[in-house]
Every structure is written in C-alpha cells, then in structure tokens.
C-alpha cells in the first residue's frame, strides 16, 4: 500500500530526503550536512571579527589550517568554490561571512554559483527567477535526454534504410 493509499503511513526519512537530491542545483541543509560542515561553518563565523578577517586575509592557508576541516573543504574555501563548499557541508548563510570578507554582496557571490554573470543573474531575478522548466528533476531530465537520443538514432536508422545503407 502506497503513502497515497494510506496517508497515515510514515515515510522513510532517507527516502524522503533523497527526493531533494533529484532537484537540480538544490542542496538541502540536513543534519548530515550540518555535522559534515560544522568546522567549515565555524570558520566562516569566525570572520565576523575584524581581527580574524585580517588574520585570514594575511595568510588564508595558515588560518584555514587552524581549523579541523578536510583538505577538500579547505580547498573549496581557497578556490571560492561555493557550490563545492555547500556540497561539503557549508551553509550559504555562514559562508556569507566569507563573501563579505571578500567585499562581495550576497547577490554577487550567489551569482558565481550559477552559469551567469552578475548582471545576467540580477536581470534573471528581476524577471522573476529561473523557469521551472527543466529544473524540476535530474532523473526526469536524464530520461528525456535518453529518449531524445533514441529518437534521433531511430530517425538516422530510418533515413539510412531509406537510402539503402
């Protein structure tokens, strides 16, 4: 019996959370990510004091090495690869302290997490944001791409057959 047939049935939490992984570009900050990124987020919060910002700017690597983060987490910070940092447990609201340290507004920093320039990102947001078309399901997008590929191969095969190849 499915959850639709029995609305009182409790859904498996892992199944429920896995569904969010299917939304393109979406990273839900769940307990697992919070634990994974705890020290990275504490590092980011440390940048709230001018003394720590100055120490970080003076030698980013040395300052990061004071924190018990993975090398991959540290590298994501050094590279300012915010998408990767979020994948590794960073929370965008904590990482905003890093944006500010670098002199970026929240919107400027977030635009670097897209395939757009800041002016393009700004205009997209003014226009109402991204279209939901094609942004609902990674699985669905992959299935559509596979079907389109098969259809193209069928057309090519039919064309080759017509020509006698």
> Domain span at residue 153?
138-165
The closest alpha carbon to 141, from 17, 25, 40, 14, belongs to 25
Residue pair 100/50 in contact by the 8 Å Cβ criterion: no
Structural domain count of the chain: 2
pLDDT in tens, the chain (165 residues): 455 666 666 677 778 777 777 766 677 777 888 899 999 999 999 999 999 999 999 999 999 999 999 999 999 999 999 999 999 999 999 999 999 999 999 889 888 888 889 899 889 888 887 776 766 666 776 777 777 777 777 777 777 767 766
Residue 81, domain CATH: 1.10.700.10
**Do 125 and 94 sit in the same domain of this protein?**
yes
Residue 25 CA to residue 72 CA, distance in Å, equals 20
Joined together, the tokens standing for residue 28 give 């839900």
The closest alpha carbon to 77, from 101, 51, 107, 54, belongs to 101
């Amino acid at each position: 019996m499915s959850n639709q047939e029995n609305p009182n049935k409790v859904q498996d939490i892992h199944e429920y959370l896995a569904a969010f992984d299917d939304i393109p570009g979406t990273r839900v900050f769940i307990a697992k990510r919070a634990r994974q990124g705890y020290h990275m987020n504490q590092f980011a919060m440390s940048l709230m004091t001018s003394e720590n910002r100055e120490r970080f700017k003076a030698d980013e690597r040395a300052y990061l090495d004071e924190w018990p983060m993975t090398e991959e987490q540290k590298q994501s910070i050094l590279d300012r690869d915010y998408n990767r940092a979020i994948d590794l447990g960073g929370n965008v609201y904590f990482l905003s302290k890093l944006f500010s340290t670098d002199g970026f507004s929240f919107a400027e920093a977030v635009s670097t997490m897209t395939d757009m320039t800041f002016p393009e990102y700004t205009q997209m947001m003014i226009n109402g944001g991204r279209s939901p078309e094609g942004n609902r399901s990674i699985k669905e997008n992959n299935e559509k791409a596979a079907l389109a590929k098969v259809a193209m191969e069928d057309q090519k095969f039919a064309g080759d057959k017509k020509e006698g190849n």
